[in-house]
Protein backbone atom coordinates (compact mmCIF):
# COMPACT_ATOMS: atom_id res chain seq x y z
CA UNK A 1 0.00 0.00 0.00
CA UNK A 2 1.14 3.54 -0.73
CA UNK A 3 0.64 6.41 1.68
CA UNK A 4 -2.11 8.78 0.60
CA UNK A 5 -3.89 11.92 1.78
CA UNK A 6 -7.45 13.18 1.62
CA UNK A 7 -7.60 16.98 1.68
CA UNK A 8 -10.95 18.73 2.16
CA UNK A 9 -11.62 22.16 0.70
CA UNK A 10 -11.54 23.68 4.19
CA UNK A 11 -7.95 22.42 4.60
CA UNK A 12 -8.67 19.43 6.84
CA UNK A 13 -6.35 16.50 6.12
CA UNK A 14 -6.85 12.76 6.60
CA UNK A 15 -4.10 10.15 6.27
CA UNK A 16 -4.64 6.78 4.65
CA UNK A 17 -3.41 4.42 1.96
CA UNK A 18 -4.05 4.41 -1.78
CA UNK A 19 -6.19 1.54 -3.05
CA UNK A 20 -8.22 0.75 -6.12
CA UNK A 21 -7.14 2.06 -9.51
CA UNK A 22 -4.29 4.51 -9.98
CA UNK A 23 -2.26 5.19 -13.13
CA UNK A 24 1.48 4.76 -12.97
CA UNK A 25 1.54 8.55 -13.06
CA UNK A 26 -1.41 9.27 -10.71
CA UNK A 27 -3.69 12.22 -11.21
CA UNK A 28 -5.57 13.86 -8.35
CA UNK A 29 -9.01 12.39 -7.65
CA UNK A 30 -11.52 15.15 -6.86
CA UNK A 31 -15.20 15.41 -6.05
CA UNK A 32 -17.68 16.30 -3.33
CA UNK A 33 -17.33 14.04 -0.29
CA UNK A 34 -20.54 12.54 1.14
CA UNK A 35 -20.96 9.77 3.70
CA UNK A 36 -23.27 6.79 3.38
CA UNK A 37 -24.52 4.97 6.48
CA UNK A 38 -25.75 1.73 4.90
CA UNK A 39 -24.33 -1.54 6.27
CA UNK A 40 -24.72 -3.54 3.06
CA UNK A 41 -25.28 -2.73 -0.59
CA UNK A 42 -21.91 -1.12 -1.31
CA UNK A 43 -22.00 -2.40 -4.90
CA UNK A 44 -25.42 -0.88 -5.51
CA UNK A 45 -24.19 2.41 -4.04
CA UNK A 46 -21.00 2.50 -6.12
CA UNK A 47 -22.90 1.84 -9.35
CA UNK A 48 -25.75 4.29 -8.66
CA UNK A 49 -25.49 7.11 -11.28
CA UNK A 50 -26.88 9.53 -8.67
CA UNK A 51 -23.37 9.68 -7.16
CA UNK A 52 -21.86 11.36 -10.23
CA UNK A 53 -19.45 14.08 -9.13
CA UNK A 54 -19.14 12.69 -5.60
CA UNK A 55 -16.62 10.75 -3.51
CA UNK A 56 -18.37 8.15 -1.35
CA UNK A 57 -17.23 7.57 2.23
CA UNK A 58 -18.80 4.56 3.94
CA UNK A 59 -19.39 4.80 7.68
CA UNK A 60 -19.53 1.00 8.00
CA UNK A 61 -15.90 -0.06 8.58
CA UNK A 62 -15.69 -3.26 6.49
CA UNK A 63 -16.45 -2.85 2.79
CA UNK A 64 -16.04 -5.66 0.26
CA UNK A 65 -16.56 -8.54 2.67
CA UNK A 66 -19.15 -10.32 0.48
CA UNK A 67 -17.54 -9.51 -2.86
CA UNK A 68 -19.08 -8.33 -6.12
CA UNK A 69 -21.91 -9.93 -8.12
CA UNK A 70 -22.85 -8.69 -11.60
CA UNK A 71 -26.60 -8.85 -10.95
CA UNK A 72 -26.33 -6.31 -8.13
CA UNK A 73 -24.96 -3.44 -10.24
CA UNK A 74 -27.39 -0.55 -10.74
CA UNK A 75 -25.75 0.60 -13.98
CA UNK A 76 -23.15 -0.54 -16.49
CA UNK A 77 -20.36 1.40 -14.79
CA UNK A 78 -19.54 3.66 -11.86
CA UNK A 79 -20.06 7.41 -12.10
CA UNK A 80 -18.78 8.39 -8.64
CA UNK A 81 -15.29 9.94 -8.38
CA UNK A 82 -13.83 7.68 -5.70
CA UNK A 83 -14.29 5.50 -2.63
CA UNK A 84 -13.20 6.06 0.99
CA UNK A 85 -13.28 3.24 3.53
CA UNK A 86 -11.84 2.26 6.86
CA UNK A 87 -11.05 -1.32 5.82
CA UNK A 88 -11.22 -2.76 2.31
CA UNK A 89 -11.76 -6.51 2.71
CA UNK A 90 -9.07 -8.45 0.79
CA UNK A 91 -11.06 -11.69 0.59
CA UNK A 92 -14.84 -11.99 0.13
CA UNK A 93 -17.02 -14.59 1.83
CA UNK A 94 -20.26 -15.23 -0.09
CA UNK A 95 -21.49 -17.98 -2.40
CA UNK A 96 -22.77 -15.27 -4.77
CA UNK A 97 -19.42 -13.50 -5.11
CA UNK A 98 -17.93 -13.43 -8.61
CA UNK A 99 -14.89 -11.27 -7.91
CA UNK A 100 -13.29 -9.15 -5.19
CA UNK A 101 -14.00 -5.49 -4.66
CA UNK A 102 -10.35 -4.78 -5.51
CA UNK A 103 -10.83 -6.41 -8.92
CA UNK A 104 -14.02 -4.40 -9.37
CA UNK A 105 -12.25 -1.12 -8.59
CA UNK A 106 -9.51 -1.92 -11.11
CA UNK A 107 -12.09 -2.86 -13.73
CA UNK A 108 -14.01 0.37 -13.16
CA UNK A 109 -10.81 2.45 -12.97
CA UNK A 110 -12.04 3.82 -9.66
CA UNK A 111 -9.51 5.23 -7.15
CA UNK A 112 -9.95 4.51 -3.46
CA UNK A 113 -8.55 5.34 -0.04
CA UNK A 114 -8.39 2.85 2.81
CA UNK A 115 -7.21 3.14 6.40
CA UNK A 116 -9.05 6.46 6.75
CA UNK A 117 -10.59 7.38 10.11
CA UNK A 118 -14.09 7.41 8.60
CA UNK A 119 -15.71 8.14 11.96
CA UNK A 120 -13.74 11.37 12.27
CA UNK A 121 -14.47 12.22 8.62
CA UNK A 122 -18.20 11.64 9.09
CA UNK A 123 -18.34 13.79 12.21
CA UNK A 124 -16.47 16.57 10.39
CA UNK A 125 -18.89 16.51 7.44
CA UNK A 126 -21.87 16.52 9.81
CA UNK A 127 -20.49 19.67 11.44
CA UNK A 128 -19.07 21.47 8.39
CA UNK A 129 -21.30 20.07 5.64
CA UNK A 130 -20.40 18.06 2.55
CA UNK A 131 -17.68 19.76 0.56
CA UNK A 132 -15.27 19.29 -2.34
CA UNK A 133 -12.06 17.39 -1.69
CA UNK A 134 -9.06 15.81 -3.38
CA UNK A 135 -7.08 12.67 -2.63
CA UNK A 136 -4.13 10.75 -3.98
CA UNK A 137 -0.89 8.91 -3.13
CA UNK A 138 1.93 10.89 -1.54
CA UNK A 139 4.59 8.18 -1.74
CA UNK A 140 5.93 5.93 -4.46
CA UNK A 141 6.15 6.56 -8.24
CA UNK A 142 4.36 9.69 -9.41
CA UNK A 143 3.54 10.72 -5.85
CA UNK A 144 1.44 13.84 -5.41
CA UNK A 145 2.33 16.54 -2.93
CA UNK A 146 0.11 17.95 -0.21
CA UNK A 147 0.19 21.33 -1.94
CA UNK A 148 -1.10 19.86 -5.19
CA UNK A 149 -3.94 18.16 -3.34
CA UNK A 150 -4.90 21.38 -1.56
CA UNK A 151 -4.96 23.25 -4.86
CA UNK A 152 -7.08 20.55 -6.48
CA UNK A 153 -9.55 20.56 -3.58
CA UNK A 154 -9.79 24.32 -3.75
CA UNK A 155 -10.60 24.33 -7.46
CA UNK A 156 -13.14 21.46 -7.41
CA UNK A 157 -16.59 23.03 -8.03
CA UNK A 158 -18.72 20.42 -6.24
CA UNK A 159 -22.28 19.71 -7.42
CA UNK A 160 -24.15 22.97 -6.86
CA UNK A 161 -25.32 24.61 -10.08
CA UNK A 162 -23.94 21.81 -12.27
CA UNK A 163 -25.91 19.72 -14.76
CA UNK A 164 -24.63 16.24 -13.95
CA UNK A 165 -27.65 14.54 -15.52
CA UNK A 166 -26.19 15.06 -19.00
CA UNK A 167 -23.19 12.93 -17.94
CA UNK A 168 -25.26 9.88 -16.96
CA UNK A 169 -28.38 9.80 -19.17
CA UNK A 170 -28.77 7.34 -22.01
CA UNK A 171 -27.83 8.51 -25.50
CA UNK A 172 -30.61 6.53 -27.23
CA UNK A 173 -34.02 5.22 -26.18
CA UNK A 174 -34.34 1.55 -25.25
CA UNK A 175 -37.12 -0.71 -23.98
CA UNK A 176 -37.32 -3.15 -21.05
CA UNK A 177 -40.19 -5.32 -19.83
CA UNK A 178 -43.39 -6.17 -21.65
CA UNK A 179 -47.11 -6.01 -21.14
CA UNK A 180 -50.16 -4.14 -22.32
CA UNK A 181 -49.28 -0.88 -20.57
CA UNK A 182 -46.81 1.55 -22.12
CA UNK A 183 -44.60 3.52 -19.74
CA UNK A 184 -42.07 6.16 -20.74
CA UNK A 185 -39.24 6.58 -18.23
CA UNK A 186 -37.04 9.67 -18.31
CA UNK A 187 -33.45 8.64 -17.64
CA UNK A 188 -31.88 11.22 -15.34
CA UNK A 189 -29.63 8.44 -13.97
CA UNK A 190 -32.09 5.57 -13.67
CA UNK A 191 -31.24 2.47 -11.62
CA UNK A 192 -31.72 -1.06 -12.92
CA UNK A 193 -33.76 -2.04 -9.86
CA UNK A 194 -36.28 0.69 -10.70
CA UNK A 195 -36.53 -0.68 -14.24
CA UNK A 196 -37.17 -4.17 -12.88
CA UNK A 197 -40.08 -2.84 -10.81
CA UNK A 198 -41.51 -0.77 -13.67
CA UNK A 199 -41.07 -3.72 -16.02
CA UNK A 200 -43.63 -5.69 -14.01
CA UNK A 201 -46.21 -3.00 -14.82
CA UNK A 202 -45.73 -2.96 -18.60
CA UNK A 203 -43.33 -2.19 -21.43
CA UNK A 204 -40.97 0.58 -20.37
CA UNK A 205 -39.31 2.81 -22.96
CA UNK A 206 -36.37 4.66 -21.41
CA UNK A 207 -35.66 8.00 -23.05
CA UNK A 208 -32.83 10.59 -22.74
CA UNK A 209 -33.23 13.35 -20.17
CA UNK A 210 -33.73 16.09 -22.77
CA UNK A 211 -36.52 14.32 -24.70
CA UNK A 212 -39.26 16.87 -25.54
CA UNK A 213 -42.67 16.33 -23.95
CA UNK A 214 -44.36 16.22 -27.38
CA UNK A 215 -42.18 13.24 -28.38
CA UNK A 216 -43.12 11.46 -25.16
CA UNK A 217 -46.85 12.09 -25.67
CA UNK A 218 -46.56 10.91 -29.28
CA UNK A 219 -45.68 7.47 -27.87
CA UNK A 220 -49.16 7.43 -26.25
CA UNK A 221 -47.92 6.29 -22.84
CA UNK A 222 -50.20 5.15 -20.05
CA UNK A 223 -47.80 6.79 -17.61
CA UNK A 224 -44.52 8.71 -17.40
CA UNK A 225 -41.83 7.96 -14.84
CA UNK A 226 -39.24 10.54 -13.68
CA UNK A 227 -36.09 8.80 -12.45
CA UNK A 228 -33.48 9.42 -9.83
CA UNK A 229 -30.29 11.21 -10.83
CA UNK A 230 -27.33 13.28 -9.67
CA UNK A 231 -26.72 16.89 -8.79
CA UNK A 232 -28.65 20.11 -8.48
CA UNK A 233 -32.24 20.07 -9.80
CA UNK A 234 -32.00 23.83 -10.42
CA UNK A 235 -29.37 23.09 -13.09
CA UNK A 236 -31.70 20.85 -15.10
CA UNK A 237 -34.17 23.48 -16.28
CA UNK A 238 -34.73 21.75 -19.62
CA UNK A 239 -36.17 18.74 -17.78
CA UNK A 240 -38.41 20.89 -15.57
CA UNK A 241 -39.85 22.52 -18.68
CA UNK A 242 -40.76 19.18 -20.25
CA UNK A 243 -42.22 17.79 -17.03
CA UNK A 244 -44.40 20.88 -16.75
CA UNK A 245 -45.84 20.15 -20.19
CA UNK A 246 -46.65 16.56 -19.21
CA UNK A 247 -48.44 17.25 -15.93
CA UNK A 248 -52.20 16.93 -16.27
CA UNK A 249 -51.92 15.16 -19.65
CA UNK A 250 -50.63 11.79 -18.44
CA UNK A 251 -50.09 10.10 -15.03
CA UNK A 252 -46.65 10.96 -13.61
CA UNK A 253 -44.56 9.26 -10.90
CA UNK A 254 -41.20 10.65 -9.76
CA UNK A 255 -38.45 9.32 -7.50
CA UNK A 256 -35.58 11.32 -5.91
CA UNK A 257 -34.37 13.83 -8.54
CA UNK A 258 -37.58 13.09 -10.41
CA UNK A 259 -39.48 14.19 -7.29
CA UNK A 260 -37.53 17.44 -7.16
CA UNK A 261 -38.07 18.14 -10.86
CA UNK A 262 -41.81 17.46 -10.64
CA UNK A 263 -42.13 19.68 -7.57
CA UNK A 264 -40.17 22.45 -9.33
CA UNK A 265 -42.47 22.19 -12.35
CA UNK A 266 -45.39 22.68 -9.96
CA UNK A 267 -43.85 25.91 -8.64
CA UNK A 268 -41.75 24.57 -5.77
CA UNK A 269 -38.19 25.48 -4.84
CA UNK A 270 -35.26 23.31 -3.77
CA UNK A 271 -32.27 23.84 -1.48
CA UNK A 272 -29.06 21.99 -0.70
CA UNK A 273 -28.97 20.00 2.53
CA UNK A 274 -25.91 20.42 4.78
CA UNK A 275 -24.71 16.83 4.28
CA UNK A 276 -27.56 15.14 2.45
CA UNK A 277 -29.38 11.88 3.12
CA UNK A 278 -27.32 8.84 2.11
CA UNK A 279 -28.18 5.51 3.69
CA UNK A 280 -30.66 2.67 4.11
CA UNK A 281 -32.28 3.49 7.43
CA UNK A 282 -34.16 6.81 7.18
CA UNK A 283 -37.57 6.82 8.92
CA UNK A 284 -40.34 8.46 6.89
CA UNK A 285 -43.91 9.04 8.08
CA UNK A 286 -46.73 8.45 5.61
CA UNK A 287 -49.07 11.24 6.61
CA UNK A 288 -52.33 9.62 5.43
CA UNK A 289 -51.92 6.59 7.71
CA UNK A 290 -49.31 7.63 10.26
CA UNK A 291 -47.26 4.55 9.35
CA UNK A 292 -43.48 4.84 9.48
CA UNK A 293 -41.48 3.46 6.55
CA UNK A 294 -37.78 2.59 6.82
CA UNK A 295 -36.35 3.92 3.58
CA UNK A 296 -33.25 4.01 1.42
CA UNK A 297 -32.16 7.52 0.48
CA UNK A 298 -29.53 9.24 -1.63
CA UNK A 299 -29.92 12.96 -2.24
CA UNK A 300 -28.20 16.25 -1.43
CA UNK A 301 -31.11 18.52 -2.34
CA UNK A 302 -34.66 18.77 -1.00
CA UNK A 303 -37.92 20.66 -1.47
CA UNK A 304 -38.41 23.91 0.44
CA UNK A 305 -41.26 23.49 2.91
CA UNK A 306 -44.22 25.70 2.01
CA UNK A 307 -43.04 26.43 -1.54
CA UNK A 308 -45.79 24.28 -3.09
CA UNK A 309 -49.10 25.98 -2.40
CA UNK A 310 -51.34 23.64 -4.39
CA UNK A 311 -49.73 20.24 -3.74
CA UNK A 312 -50.37 17.85 -0.87
CA UNK A 313 -47.37 16.80 1.23
CA UNK A 314 -47.69 13.03 1.61
CA UNK A 315 -44.49 11.97 3.42
CA UNK A 316 -42.10 13.58 5.91
CA UNK A 317 -38.63 12.56 7.13
CA UNK A 318 -38.73 11.95 10.89
CA UNK A 319 -35.04 12.79 11.35
CA UNK A 320 -35.11 16.38 10.13
CA UNK A 321 -38.61 17.13 8.83
CA UNK A 322 -37.61 17.21 5.14
CA UNK A 323 -40.49 16.76 2.70
CA UNK A 324 -40.34 13.19 1.36
CA UNK A 325 -43.38 13.08 -0.89
CA UNK A 326 -45.94 15.27 -2.69
CA UNK A 327 -49.10 14.63 -4.69
CA UNK A 328 -51.46 16.41 -7.07
CA UNK A 329 -54.44 14.09 -7.35
CA UNK A 330 -56.20 16.35 -9.86
CA UNK A 331 -53.20 15.96 -12.18
CA UNK A 332 -52.68 12.25 -11.43
CA UNK A 333 -49.11 13.03 -10.35
CA UNK A 334 -47.12 12.07 -7.27
CA UNK A 335 -43.49 11.74 -6.24
CA UNK A 336 -41.26 10.69 -3.36
CA UNK A 337 -37.78 11.79 -2.33
CA UNK A 338 -36.67 8.35 -1.17
CA UNK A 339 -36.16 5.06 -3.07
CA UNK A 340 -39.16 2.68 -2.87
CA UNK A 341 -37.43 0.22 -5.23
CA UNK A 342 -34.66 -0.43 -2.70
CA UNK A 343 -34.73 -3.16 -0.06
CA UNK A 344 -32.69 -1.95 2.91
CA UNK A 345 -34.09 -4.92 4.83
CA UNK A 346 -37.80 -4.11 4.78
CA UNK A 347 -39.73 -3.30 1.60
CA UNK A 348 -42.00 -0.78 3.29
CA UNK A 349 -42.36 1.56 0.30
CA UNK A 350 -42.84 -0.86 -2.60
CA UNK A 351 -46.59 -0.10 -2.57
CA UNK A 352 -45.83 3.10 -4.49
CA UNK A 353 -45.37 1.13 -7.71
CA UNK A 354 -48.84 -0.32 -7.17
CA UNK A 355 -50.10 3.24 -6.72
CA UNK A 356 -48.55 4.18 -10.06
CA UNK A 357 -50.28 1.18 -11.63
CA UNK A 358 -53.58 2.31 -10.10
CA UNK A 359 -53.50 5.85 -11.44
CA UNK A 360 -52.45 4.62 -14.88
CA UNK A 361 -55.66 2.59 -14.93
CA UNK A 362 -57.84 5.38 -13.58
Does residue 298 contact residue 48 with C-beta atoms inside 8 Å?
A: yes
Q: Which residue out of 256, 278, 299, 315 is catalytically annotated?
A: 256
Q: Which residue out of 124, 277, 278, 339 is catalytically annotated?
A: 339
Q: Which residue out of 44, 74, 205, 341 is catalytically annotated?
A: 341
Please indicate whether residue 347 is annotated as part of the active site: no
Strand pairing class (333-336; 131-137): unpaired
CA distances from 17 to 56, 94, 135, 168, 201 (A): 16, 26, 10, 29, 47
Please indicate whether residue 167 is annotated as part of the active site: no
Query: What distance in Å separates the CA atoms of residue 60 and residue 181, rounded to the nearest whole number?
Result: 41
Does residue 205 contact residue 174 with C-beta atoms inside 8 Å?
A: yes
Please indicate whether residue 256 is annotated as part of the active site: yes
Catalytic positions, written as ranges:
256, 339, 341
Amino acid sequence: MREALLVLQDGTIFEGEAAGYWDEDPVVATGEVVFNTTLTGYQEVLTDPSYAGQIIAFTYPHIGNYGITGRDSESARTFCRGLIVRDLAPRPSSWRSERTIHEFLLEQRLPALTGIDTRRLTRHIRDAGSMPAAFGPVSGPGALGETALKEAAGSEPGTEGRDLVSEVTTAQPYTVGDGARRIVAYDFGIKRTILRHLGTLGAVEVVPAATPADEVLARRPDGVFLSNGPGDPAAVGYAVEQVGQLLGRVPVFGICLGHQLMATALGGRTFKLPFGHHGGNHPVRRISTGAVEITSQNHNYALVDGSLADAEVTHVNLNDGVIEGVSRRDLRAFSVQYHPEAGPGPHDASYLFSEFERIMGA
